[in-house]
Structure 1
Amino acid sequence: MKINIIVGSIRGSRGSDKVANWVKTSADEAGLGAEFTIVDLKDYDLPLFAESQLPMAQQNRQETGAVKEWLDAMSDADGFIFVTPEYNHGIPSALKNAIDYLDFQLMKKPIAIASHGAMGGARANEQLRLIINSNLGGLPISNSVTLKAPVAFEEVVGDNGRLVEQYVREQKPLDSLLENIVWYTEALKTAREK
């Protein structure tokens, strides 16, 4: 059972990579019986989405290059945790662009969201929930993490992938999210295989 952790920002001074590292470290240490893999949008040089039709409407769709690599990385996962900052009251444009390329990769698969920012990224969290629950067929779980960190993320998540002491209170919501995403991933994978 594979769960992808999507790093939703490509900026140089981003915090999403550190938050994703915290999510993966916590998941690995919890021993939940799933393989957690970080998928970083920065590794995919995706062009601006400008296809003439929605991906789901295209029969015999043939993608190449970075788009194919992105779709392949998303296709082999059974569940997802999207890590997103909040930029201008919403998700980053790079994340929305990457999602626009998806066709059936999220269909009937559980999605968890870990947002972060000065106000916890709550607006980005809600916006992403709406996007994923649209025509993409992803199933957002009720648990989410809203990491409130008005400082640089180097001061929140250490190099070891763990929260620094003053932010330890944020660990419990993540632990709950991880338990639930694994439960839903297993349940929906079993149902999809019937």
Structure 2
Amino acid sequence: MIKIGIILGSTRPGRKGEQVAQWVHETTALRSDAEFEVIDLLDHPLPHLDEPAPAMMSSGRYQHEHTRAWADAIASFDGFVMVTPEYNHALPGVLKNAIDHLYVEWNNKAVGFVSYGVEGGARAVEQLRLICGALQMADVAPQVALSLLTDFENYTTFKPGDQHVAALDTLLDHVVAWSTALAPLRAASPATVA
């Protein structure tokens, strides 16, 4: 069965992403087309990129144990939903750092985006689409953009509008379908880390 990781892309104290990732995960409990698991970056503390060789050139051979553990975690998934806030018109540095630690582990996998911010996190997702393209990932078009103004009561408690449930279901449909379609490429890749 296809396995999809829901990456919680913020480690900031008081982060809203925990509520959002939980909502995504609860929504996936109603599905039987894939297995879903939350990947919290707090559980994978990575220093600022410290591998001596670029991930693209290391072919999955990393020097540091923290990178190897992160690589094993990411390699075990067929696709991802990235839950990201927008900080200063961009994605969080901790998410970019986690992405940059690896290369082959991301290849030929689908990715969808659930973002939040004053403007729904749209600019963070624009950047993530470019980054994921460079990693040979297939980013799906549907996305969920949550506003801090309308989807969080008092900017704190997550209360998504009904329209977001349908949008999330569509996003998940696409991530599962693309993850399934890309399976032969992952199987054929000599650089795939298992």
Same fold (TM over 0.5): yes
Per-residue CA deviations over 1:67-96 (Å, capped at 9, x if unaligned) read 222111100100111110000000000001
Task: Tell me the amino acid that sits aligned with residue 102 of structure 1.
Answer: L
| Offset at residue 66 of structure 1 (A) | 2.5
1:1-194 pair list within 5 angstroms:
1-29=2-30, 31-58=31-58, 61-134=61-134, 136-150=135-149, 151=152, 154-157=156-159, 163=160, 167-193=161-187
Distance 1:24 1:59 in 2: 31
| Offset at residue 184 of structure 1 (A) | 1.1
Change (3 A) 1:59 1:122: closer
Q: Percent identity?
A: 38
Change (3 A) 1:107 1:60: closer
| Offset at residue 175 of structure 1 (A) | 1.0
| Offset at residue 40 of structure 1 (A) | 0.4
Distance 1:76 1:153 in 2: 35
Aligned pairs, number:
184
Change (3 A) 1:48 1:187: same
Distance 1:59 1:17 in 2: 32
Question: Please, what TM-score do these two structures have when normalized by structure 2?
Answer: 0.88
Task: Tell me the amino acid that sits aligned with residue 158 of structure 2.
Answer: V
Structure 1 residue runs of 5 or longer lacking an equivalent are 158-162
**Counterpart secondary structure, 2:113:** strand
| Offset at residue 34 of structure 1 (A) | 0.4
| Offset at residue 140 of structure 1 (A) | 0.6
Contact 1:8 1:85 in 2 (8 A): yes
| Offset at residue 35 of structure 1 (A) | 0.3
Structure 2 residue runs of 5 or longer lacking an equivalent are 189-194
| Offset at residue 102 of structure 1 (A) | 0.9
Question: Please, what TM-score do these two structures have when normalized by structure 1?
Answer: 0.88
| Offset at residue 190 of structure 1 (A) | 4.2
Task: Tell me the amino acid that sits aligned with residue 155 of structure 1.
Answer: T
**Counterpart secondary structure, 2:182:** helix
RMSD, aligned CA: 1.8
